[in-house]
Amino acid sequence: MARTIAAHPPRRLAGGKASSPRERSARGPLGLAHGAAGALRAGVLRVRRTRRLRLALLALTITLVVLAGGWLLLRHSPFVSIERVQISGVHGADAAAVEAALTHAAKGMSTLDVSRAGLQAAVAPLRVVREVRAIPSFPHGLRIDVVEQLPVAALQPQPVTYARSWELTCRMAWSA
């Protein structure tokens, strides 16, 4: 008579545990069926994955905050303050005034925080400057290129006497 595995039911030990290796492998390490153990294992892995993701995001946020704060502190620190100013493109009678205004404005800046608008405002009263270009040279230098707007013509007002002014007023009144 031929014996088959299906012909014999598996033997059970006390407490309902399987005695055959095949039946023992059908259960997980916690004694649960594979479906329940798989779901539990997947849940544990999901919790671990979300915990790792949360920790990575927290570490990234802290790193970004520290780097941004460090950048702001370094940006206005004496380590990158402007000490040497080189100005080019200025000629003529107003050259000394332009250089003095630009040098004074540049000394309050750092190479990481060069304000082109601040330099332009420093020379705004001087009509010979059209544009200012600033090129920082790390750690303590600044090169400023000035584009001049030279005057093409100069108008000199004619002195108007009282009699001449009265005459013009009368002509305008009679012609209207």
Q: What does the domain layout of the chain look like in residue ranges? A: 25-75, 80-148
Q: How many CB atoms lie within 10 A of CB 89?
A: 15
Q: What is the H or E stretch that residue 32 is in?
A: none
Q: What is the pLDDT of residue 37?
A: 64
Confidence of residue 150 (pLDDT cuts 50, 70, 90): confident
Mean pLDDT, the chain, whole residue set: 78
**Residue entry with tokens 């009509």:** 127
Question: Of 109, 170, 164, which Cα lies nearest the Cα of 136?
Answer: 109
**Whole-Å CA distances, 35 to 38, 40, 62:** 5, 9, 40
Confidence of residue 85 (pLDDT cuts 50, 70, 90): very high
As to burial, measured by CB atoms within 10 angstroms (0-12 exposed, 13-18 middle, 19+ buried), residue 153 is exposed
**Long-range contact set of residues 31-40: C-beta below 8 Å, sequence gap at least 24:** none
16, two tokens: 């309902």
pLDDT tens digit string along 108-129?
A: 898 888 989 999 999 999 888 9
Q: Mean pLDDT, to the nearest integer, of 57-76? A: 92
**Residue entry with tokens 């520290």:** 66
d(CA 37, CA 34) in angstroms, rounded, equals 5
d(CA 116, CA 147) in angstroms, rounded, equals 13
Asked whether 134 and 111 are in contact (CB, 8 A), the reply is: no
Whether the per-residue pLDDT at 146 is higher than 70: the answer is yes
pTM above 0.85, yes or no: no
Domain 80-148 indexed as CATH 3.10.20 = yes
Q: What percent of the chain has pLDDT over 90?
A: 31
